[in-house]
Amino acid sequence: MDRLTRLTSILIQLQSRKIIIAKEIANRFDISLRTVYRDIKTLQEAGVPIGSENGKGYFLVDGYHLPPIMLTEEEVNTLVVAEKLINNQGDDSLRIQFNSLLFKIKSVLKDFQKENYEKLEKRIAPSYLKVPFESNSLSDFKNAITKNQKVEIIYHSISKDEISKRIIDPQGVYFSNNAWVLVAHCNTKNEQREFRLDRIQSYKTTSDKFVEKTDFDLTKYFLKKYKPS
């Protein structure tokens, strides 16, 4: 990758997050931290308003935006794969939102990119040997996570074959065994639990807020959960 392309890509990376640490940039482009500092300085000298916070990282000053970015052919091809996977993951709310986003992206593609997209659509498919469990609540639970909102659910536990009412604090979601799973603190049981979205019979987002666990991370959660005893 030439330096001009890298500088443009660094700008896009900065615009994608509220704040980016130098190490993230270095890892993405396989360059040294010294090169990152030099590239950031070059962008600043070119008039790009990049700020920094000691110990935190770099950020673009509010109000600055790059012009619309044109996608490469490889990126367009990756979108086809993403569309196939998302359309086969079992949650209608995610499908609807992604397809809406996809229409906007497709509107800026060049004609030859649209032709290639349509060609690949017929030639790439996920496995259909297993049918995912259907749900339609992922979008609402994602919002509850970002807004720290308590949710009241009616849940059907298959293992005990019982239906119960719970008040939960949503923390994260993941896709496993053809179903979306919600990780949450259950206020009713006063412990962390997992809830399959297709087994939540009904739910209601409340106006009550919960104190966010800022250190919660799904990767760390899995490492702890599956740590050999």
Note the pLDDT tens digit of each residue in 3-19.
Answer: 888 898 898 888 888 89
Please check whether residues 154 and 215 belong to one and the same domain: yes
Q: Is residue 18 part of a domain?
A: yes
**Amino acid identity at 80:** V
The range of the structural domain enclosing residue 161 comes to 138-225
Please check whether residues 179 and 220 belong to one and the same domain: yes
CATH for 146: 2.30.30
Please check whether residues 148 and 221 belong to one and the same domain: yes
- Radius of gyration of the chain from its Cα atoms, rounded to whole angstroms: 22
Q: How many domains does the chain have?
A: 3
Please check whether residues 144 and 170 belong to one and the same domain: yes
Please check whether residues 145 and 213 belong to one and the same domain: yes
Q: Is residue 66 part of a domain?
A: no
* Pair 102, 83: CB distance under 8 Å: yes
pLDDT, tens digit, 9 for 90 and up, residues 115-129 = 888 898 888 887 665
High-pLDDT (> 70) share of the chain, %:
96
CATH for 51: 1.10.10.10
Closest C-alpha to 78, from 108, 120, 111: 120
**pLDDT of amino acid 31:** 94
Please check whether residues 37 and 94 belong to one and the same domain: no
Closest C-alpha to 199, from 168, 153, 167, 147: 153
Please check whether residues 35 and 80 belong to one and the same domain: no
Tell me: pLDDT of 33 over 70. Answer: yes
Q: Is residue 88 part of a domain?
A: yes
Rounded mean pLDDT of 150-164? 94
Q: Is residue 132 part of a domain?
A: no
Q: Is residue 130 part of a domain?
A: no
Please check whether residues 179 and 108 belong to one and the same domain: no
Three-state helix/strand/coil letters over the chain: CCHHHHHHHHHHHHHHCCCECHHHHHHHHCCCHHHHHHHHHHHHHCCCCEEEECCCEEEECCCCCCCCCCCCHHHHHHHHHHHHHHCCCCEHHHHHHHHHHHHHHHCCCCHHHHHHHHHHHCCCCCCCCCCCCCECCHHHHHHHHHHCEEEEEEEEECCCCEEEEEEEEEEEEEEECCEEEEEEEECCCCEEEEEEHHHEEEEEEEEEECCCCCCCCHHHHHHHHCCCC
Please check whether residues 40 and 85 belong to one and the same domain: no
* Pair 164, 101: CB distance under 8 Å: no
Please check whether residues 149 and 215 belong to one and the same domain: yes
High-pLDDT (> 90) share of the chain, %:
54
Please check whether residues 210 and 146 belong to one and the same domain: yes
pLDDT, tens digit, 9 for 90 and up, residues 200-224 = 999 999 999 999 888 899 999 998 8
Question: What crossing angle do the helices spanning 111-121 and 73-86 adopt, rounded to 10°?
Answer: 40
**pLDDT of amino acid 226:** 82
Band of residue 69 on the pLDDT scale cut at 50, 70, 90: low
Q: Is residue 12 part of a domain?
A: yes
Tell me: pLDDT of 156 over 90. Answer: yes
Band of residue 181 on the pLDDT scale cut at 50, 70, 90: very high
Q: Is residue 186 part of a domain?
A: yes
Please give the model's pTM, rounded to 2 decimal places. 0.70
Please check whether residues 142 and 221 belong to one and the same domain: yes
Tell me: pLDDT of 130 over 70. Answer: no
Tell me: pLDDT of 68 over 70. Answer: no
